[in-house]
Chains A and B, each alone.
Chain A
Amino acid sequence: MGKSNDNRRHFISKVNKGKVSRHDFKGNIRYSCDIDQRIYILNKLSENYWNLAYNNPLPKTESLIASEETFFSQSTSLIEEIKWFFEVFKHYNYHLNLFTEVNRTIETGILLGNTSNVDLCTEKIEKEISSSLYLLIIEMYLNEQENNRKANEEIINELSINGKSTKLPLIAEFAKLRMEKDLPPWQYDSTVEHHMSMYPNDAKYLSEYIVLKFEPFNFDFAFENKEFIVNFESDFSVIDRLNSIQTILPLILHTLNIDEVNELELEIKQMSLTSKDLYWDRLLCLLNPKHLNNLMLSPYQKNHDKVADLFFEGEYLRVAELAATALHINPEIQELHSYFVKSIIFIGKEVSEYFNEDNVLTQILKLMRSMLLKDEKYTANREKLIAEYYNNSFFNFSSCLLQDLYTDLQFEMPGTIITKVFLTSNVISHRSIQAFEENSYLELPIVNQSNWDKFVRRSLRNESLILDYAKFYQIELFAISKIKNRNFESALKCLNEFQLHNKYSEMPEFVKTWFTKSKIKCLYELKLIGETVNLIIEEYFRSNILYDHYYFQDLMDELIENDESPIYGEISIPIFFQITKQSRSLCYDSIANFLIQNELRRPSELNEKKLDFDIKAVTFFLEKCCIKSHIEDSPYINSIDALSSERISILNCLKKTNPEKLKKYNEEILNITKEDTIRKGVKHIHESRIYVDTDSLFKILNADITEVFDRYLSLDNKRYSALSALTLDEVFNPNRVNSMFYCLEPVEPNLLQFYSLGEPFNDPNIVRVPIIRYTHFVLLFEEIKNEFIFNEDFGFKSFLSMRIRHGTFQNVLRNVFDKYNLIGSKELSGDEYKEINYWKEGNRIPKMFENRLQELLKISSRSIDDLIDLARSWIKIYEQEEDKNAMFDFSFSDFEMRAIFINRVGRINNSQDFIQEVFSILFDRMDKQLNAIRQRIDSELSSKFVDIIEQMETDVASIYGNNNKTSQVEEQILACKTEIQKVTNQVQQWFKMSQNQYVDEFPIEMILEASIDYTNSINGNILNIAKVERNIKCNSKYKGKYFEGFGDMLINIFDNIIKNNKDLYEKLDIKIMVNSENGLTKIIVSNNISPNIDVEELKIKIQDIKRKVSNYRDGNMANSFEGDSGYLKICRCISADLEQGNYEVNVEYSNNKYEVQITIENKNLII
């Protein structure tokens, strides 16, 4: 709208004709008119338009509060929005002055618990001014004090139903929550945080509003959407707008540019002329120090100065009395609170000796005393004081409390708090010194000639002063003023003198805190960084609590920036990093830098070097700083074993230097040893996949074949040759001898082929035997070979089936792709693959690519599964034509058999050696085949996996087009490619002969954890996500030879649980109980079951299992190698590997709980 009168009249006419909507009216009147135009137009319209234009500043009822929503223009400015507030204030100056006066009485009433006075005041405000959010808050506050939460719920309810504002109920709800007496501050903060998370990223302006309105400690926050926030508050009642702008201004004042400051100054100047609220006077002084000497002092200044002067002189008893008297009448002189509390601490008195009423004032004073004393209830009472602040943060009397809390919670005071305290203070006090730039404080009017004020001014002017170090407040004021002038040397000198003149240990805690903080500040500013940190650590050890107010980020940044500085030679530096909870990486850096500066390689060398460090610091450093995770990056600790060794060395040092904690250190050593043992146990399990229990086989064979072998040996009569070689269609020739021979001493393999062609005549090394002997040899060999391979309990096939083929091989490979969501599962019916849900959820892939990607993944899933099936077909024993891919082939050709007899076995003349030699031959064969399998896995399996993945990469790249940004699916593919190669390499290592190197003995815990670890590694770490509870009541140690047997049994059980219930994920709940008593070891593993399991079918299956187990125990059922439930394998483990004939294996199901119970006799199992 232009400035012409025509435009105004035109607009008025349109409005009167109803041609301007409410929304447009608000926008135009606010942003298109200047103030004069606005007044002109509004004077020409009905009164309703006034309310519309100014968003109903005097709502008559609660339901009308914030009912006339404000209009926000994107092109507005912060100053425009602020000026809007002052325009409204000008119109309602009378109302605001009335409010200012009455509000003092309200705050007094709240502090003293004089609710009837408060009620009268609120009624007056409501009657003579308007309804407001502020009055609602007071009403809810009083209800809360009277424990009438129901009334507050009704208020919120009423606002929700009848209120015309959408934001009012929410704001009121949060206000109600904040003032709840039994709600801890952290819980309130979590609620606010949770609420903020509900706003989308592009609604940051709303999140900032939440911070402003709901977060009590928002003084460090950098508001970016200031215009919006100010505007959003501009539709509440005029009282609320006053409170809002007075809350917002301290938070944003420091962000204003010079033009904004000048414009604001003009507004405030106007405001201060007509307002009775001293806030505006003070604000004017902050905006422009030239106003300082005109500052109006409150009537309370005299009271304050009397008390402050007595405090200055150290007359603490009189301070306590005078302050108490004043506070009983004017509790809102909040500056007196801390003089009072500090004085009674000096003289050893309690709050209750001066205040025995049960009211807010007494509560605040008591909590403040506890906080300053830092007694045994310090932490709890500090939390209560924070809660008290939260409850009362709506009122001006809480400003000094805020500042005192911040002093305790933080090292540095945000300027926004100092500003707020100055603006809302009743008096000028030492707190005001920091509110101004440079020495502008000196421009303040001098009233009352108070001693404390004179002292401050002289100090700020650097006049020479004689200090009385016995008087705490003097020294405090001196230090404050010197620090203000950045004269840190002077301040430091004074502090050091103070310490010399007073017995530090006898000072009250709050004095020590103030002293330490001030000294830290000075040392830091003087760049004495090492001494700064030393002081902090000294204080930490003295008081055993790190107070938050000793940590500031600038100090940490300085240390990180200068990581090569010699100050890192101080042991306090890594301790500082540790106690301030820096990241693992930073903690490591601090330790590494410390070691370098002290020419050490490892922390354990510290004690040997005899450096001049405090023993307490050394102990803390070694015990708390040098933990495994903080030193594993060291280039001098190169392996997991070396890391464990180093930590154990450190603990052994500590045992000598700090023997009181011997038990704790020994426990940690034990835990480290246990972890190492479990790791070795898992390694053992991995490396024992290929196994034949030749010891057990030998016992069987030795018993079975002895008689046959003796007969075999007896077949040495050459007369047999003719007979055994005779056939019916040949002419008998007694001179033609068909015989076999063997070598007494083995011949070179390269010569052996000649021996196989025929008997070498005249070779003294050979011994001729009848063919029949050779035939018998072949039969014996076959028998031993059959047992070696096919014995159900001890043979190769059984172990191969259980330890590799029974799901393990394909699981471990498939799980890699599953982990990266690159492989799907097959449909229940048919051969097709399902889509992978992961890529359907969220916005992981653009919708337009989804179909193509899913198709691609189906194709690659098939390729992966086919490849795994192919590889699986290699790790089979060749038994029939269909096993053409099987790489374990124990068939020997005639030529080979002859060579074996001639060169290796023929000469053996006892059954034991015979059996062992045959075993050796079979192991040689197996070894070659294992080698071939390893090569094939390496060259074929691994490279084919890489080919499939690289094809996926190419296909995905073509879907996404040439895009420099890596999509999530591409990232997963790359990570998968690296991992599958590593896992394939790991699998490759399974195919080595187990060395059968047992652990010597083991507790049941060890094999249990090793089995869980192993099962986890094979099954995508699902047991880390599931809930697994252990209850071990078994102190027995088991013989090492049974390690694998237990392992096989437990792995079988866990595998079964996972296979059937994997879909439960984190809801899978496994309970493991082991106990050993009365000569029995009992293992019970129970789990909840997947909803996909048909319970009736399960019950039938359980009956089948029981029957089979029973049959097996009775010797009526063979162990099925492939495809069975695994319980027979468990039975086999117990009977064969654990060598126990007396055992129970039971399976039960009831109430969603599936349970396996195994009971074994301990006979020979335990040491």
Chain B
Amino acid sequence: MKGLLIEDDPNKAKKVLNFLSENFKDIEMNHKISYQSGLQEIFENEFDFILLDMSLPTYDQNSSSSSGKPRNFGGRDILKEMKRYKKHSKVIVVTQYNEFDGGSISINELDSQLKTKFDDIYKGYVIYKSQRTEEWQNELSIFLKSFI
């Protein structure tokens, strides 16, 4: 099974990837760190599922080059392009935030929005908290097991 993690926080990415490699040995994971590199990966390869951060920079940041504008809803932008270009991987949002855009929308409201607009591909969200490892790991496991 092939999965893609689109996540710009190196520490969070490492923990998620480690968890997956230890508990889901049959899954081969790729990792990208921005909207554009994530999108490019989706267009070039097929994935069974995608774990998607919501806030992402536009481009990869390497050494000194600009990562472009930050996107509070970069994950939603990716879902939009997936729908537009008919990409069918299942998507789970993995986010650290309960609210977005300065508190104007809660994760539950965003979840409803995403379910309405992207019902074919969006499967829900997991809240990642670095101090509550068991919780997010359990939720992620449940989601992944529903695909396998």
Instruction: State whether A964 and B64 are in contact (beta carbons under 8 Å apart), knowing that A592-B84, A635-B39 are contacts in the complex.
Output: no
Q: Which chain A residues lie closer than 8 Å to B67 at the CB level?
A: 982
In the assembled complex, how far is the CB of residue B30 from the closest CB belonging to chain A, in whole angstroms? 16
Does A682 count as interface, using CB distance less than 8 angstroms? Answer: yes
Interfacial residues of chain B within 116-148, with CB under 8 A of chain A in the complex: 130-131
Chain A interface, DSSP helix/strand/loop, else mixed: helix
Q: Which chain B residues lie closer than 8 Å to A946 at the CB level?
A: 11
Are the C-beta atoms of A632 and B58 separated by less than 8 Å? yes
CA of A640 to CA of B35, assembled, Å: 12
Q: Which chain A residues lie closer than 8 Å to B64 at the CB level?
A: 682-683, 685-687, 986, 989, 1017
Are the C-beta atoms of A638 and B9 separated by less than 8 Å? no
Does A503 count as interface, using CB distance less than 8 angstroms? Answer: no
Are the C-beta atoms of A635 and B85 separated by less than 8 Å? yes
Are the C-beta atoms of B81 and A977 separated by less than 8 Å? no
CA of A614 to CA of B104, assembled, Å: 42
Does B111 count as interface, using CB distance less than 8 angstroms? Answer: no
Q: Which chain B residues lie closer than 8 Å to A593 at the CB level?
A: 84
Does A965 count as interface, using CB distance less than 8 angstroms? Answer: yes
Are the C-beta atoms of B8 and A638 separated by less than 8 Å? no
In the assembled complex, how far is the CB of residue A598 from the closest CB belonging to chain B, in whole angstroms? 14
CA of A1017 to CA of B9, assembled, Å: 20
Does B89 count as interface, using CB distance less than 8 angstroms? Answer: no
CA of A79 to CA of B84, assembled, Å: 52
Does A985 count as interface, using CB distance less than 8 angstroms? Answer: yes
Does A953 count as interface, using CB distance less than 8 angstroms? Answer: yes
Does A639 count as interface, using CB distance less than 8 angstroms? Answer: yes
Does B48 count as interface, using CB distance less than 8 angstroms? Answer: no
Does A950 count as interface, using CB distance less than 8 angstroms? Answer: yes
CA of A483 to CA of B59, assembled, Å: 51
Contact with B along A974-1013 (1 / 0, CB 8 A): 1001100110011001000000000000000000000000
Q: Which chain B residues lie closer than 8 Å to A683 at the CB level?
A: 63-65
Total interface residues on A, CB under 8 Å, equals 38
Residue A638 contacts which of B36, B81, B96 (CB distance < 8 angstroms)?
A: B36
Are the C-beta atoms of B40 and A638 separated by less than 8 Å? yes
Interfacial residues of chain B within 29-61, with CB under 8 A of chain A in the complex: 35-37, 39-40, 42-43, 55, 58-59, 61
Does B98 count as interface, using CB distance less than 8 angstroms? Answer: yes
Instruction: State whether A950 and B131 are in contact (beta carbons under 8 Å apart), knowing that A687-B63, A974-B96, A978-B9 are contacts in the complex.
Output: yes
Q: Which chain A residues lie closer than 8 Å to B80 at the CB level?
A: 589
Q: Which chain A residues lie closer than 8 Å to B113 at the CB level?
A: none
Chain B interface, DSSP helix/strand/loop, else mixed: loop
Are the C-beta atoms of A596 and B99 separated by less than 8 Å? no
Q: Which chain B residues lie closer than 8 Å to A943 at the CB level?
A: 11
Q: Which chain B residues lie closer than 8 Å to A978 at the CB level?
A: 8-9, 12, 55
Are the C-beta atoms of B131 and A638 separated by less than 8 Å? no
Q: Which chain A residues lie closer than 8 Å to B36 at the CB level?
A: 635, 638-639
Are the C-beta atoms of B97 and A989 separated by less than 8 Å? no
Instruction: State whether A981 and B61 are in contact (beta carbons under 8 Å apart), knowing that A638-B37, A640-B66, A974-B96 are contacts in the complex.
Output: no
CA of A635 to CA of B79, assembled, Å: 12
CA of A946 to CA of B12, assembled, Å: 10
Are the C-beta atoms of B98 and A981 separated by less than 8 Å? no
Q: Which chain A residues lie closer than 8 Å to B39 at the CB level?
A: 635, 638
In the assembled complex, how far is the CB of residue A162 from the closest CB belonging to chain B, in whole angstroms? 48
Does A245 count as interface, using CB distance less than 8 angstroms? Answer: no
Residue of A nearest to B84 (CB): A592
Are the C-beta atoms of A965 and B99 separated by less than 8 Å? yes
In the assembled complex, how far is the CB of residue B98 from the closest CB belonging to chain A, in whole angstroms? 4
Does A148 count as interface, using CB distance less than 8 angstroms? Answer: no
CA of A563 to CA of B117, assembled, Å: 12
Does A309 count as interface, using CB distance less than 8 angstroms? Answer: no
Q: Which of A563, A633, A685, A943 has the most chain B CB atoms inside 10 A of its CB?
A: A633
CA of A638 to CA of B99, assembled, Å: 29
Contact with A along B55-98 (1 / 0, CB 8 A): 10011011111111000000001001100110000000000111
Are the C-beta atoms of B9 and A977 separated by less than 8 Å? yes
Does A957 count as interface, using CB distance less than 8 angstroms? Answer: yes
CA of A1017 to CA of B64, assembled, Å: 10
In the assembled complex, how far is the CB of residue A575 from the closest CB belonging to chain B, in whole angstroms? 20
Are the C-beta atoms of A966 and B84 separated by less than 8 Å? no
CA of A77 to CA of B36, assembled, Å: 57
Residue of B nearest to A964 (CB): B98
Contact with A along B9-39 (1 / 0, CB 8 A): 1111000000000000000000000011101
Q: Which chain A residues lie closer than 8 Å to B96 at the CB level?
A: 974
Interfacial residues of chain A within 661-697, with CB under 8 A of chain B in the complex: 679, 682-683, 685-687
Are the C-beta atoms of B130 and A953 separated by less than 8 Å? yes
In the assembled complex, how far is the CB of residue A144 from the closest CB belonging to chain B, in whole angstroms? 43
Instruction: State whether A981 and B10 are in contact (beta carbons under 8 Å apart), knowing that A592-B84, A632-B58, A633-B77 are contacts in the complex.
Output: yes
Are the C-beta atoms of B10 and A974 separated by less than 8 Å? no
Residue of B nearest to A592 (CB): B84
Are the C-beta atoms of B84 and A982 separated by less than 8 Å? no
CA of A589 to CA of B85, assembled, Å: 12
Does A325 count as interface, using CB distance less than 8 angstroms? Answer: no
Q: Which chain B residues lie closer than 8 Å to A1142 at the CB level?
A: none
In the assembled complex, how far is the CB of residue A56 from the closest CB belonging to chain B, in whole angstroms? 47
Instruction: State whether A971 and B97 are in contact (beta carbons under 8 Å apart), knowing that A640-B68, A977-B11 are contacts in the complex.
Output: yes
Instruction: State whether A679 and B37 are in contact (beta carbons under 8 Å apart), knowing that A632-B58, A942-B10 are contacts in the complex.
Output: no
Are the C-beta atoms of B9 and A981 separated by less than 8 Å? yes
Contact with B along A576-618 (1 / 0, CB 8 A): 0000000001000100110010000000000000000000000
Does A262 count as interface, using CB distance less than 8 angstroms? Answer: no
Are the C-beta atoms of B40 and A966 separated by less than 8 Å? no
Residue of A nearest to B9 (CB): A978
Residue B63 contacts which of A592, A633, A971, A989 (CB distance < 8 angstroms)?
A: A989
Q: Which chain B residues lie closer than 8 Å to A632 at the CB level?
A: 58, 68
Residue A965 contacts which of B40, B55, B65, B98 (CB distance < 8 angstroms)?
A: B98
Does A954 count as interface, using CB distance less than 8 angstroms? Answer: yes
Q: Which chain A residues lie closer than 8 Å to B98 at the CB level?
A: 964-966
Residue of B nearest to A982 (CB): B61
Q: Which chain B residues lie closer than 8 Å to A954 at the CB level?
A: 131
CA of A593 to CA of B83, assembled, Å: 11
| CB<8 Å pairs between A and B, sample of 25 | A589-B80, A589-B84, A632-B58, A632-B68, A635-B39, A635-B42, A638-B36, A638-B37, A638-B39, A639-B36, A640-B66, A679-B65, A679-B66, A683-B65, A687-B63, A687-B64, A965-B98, A977-B11, A978-B8, A978-B9, A978-B55, A981-B11, A982-B67, A985-B10, A989-B63
> 20 other contacts beyond A635-B85, A982-B10, with CB at 8 A cut-off?
A589-B80, A589-B84, A593-B84, A633-B77, A635-B36, A635-B39, A635-B42, A640-B59, A640-B65, A946-B11, A950-B131, A964-B98, A977-B9, A977-B11, A981-B9, A981-B10, A981-B11, A982-B67, A989-B64, A1017-B64
Closest 5 CB pairs of A and B: A686-B64, A989-B63, A978-B9, A966-B98, A635-B39
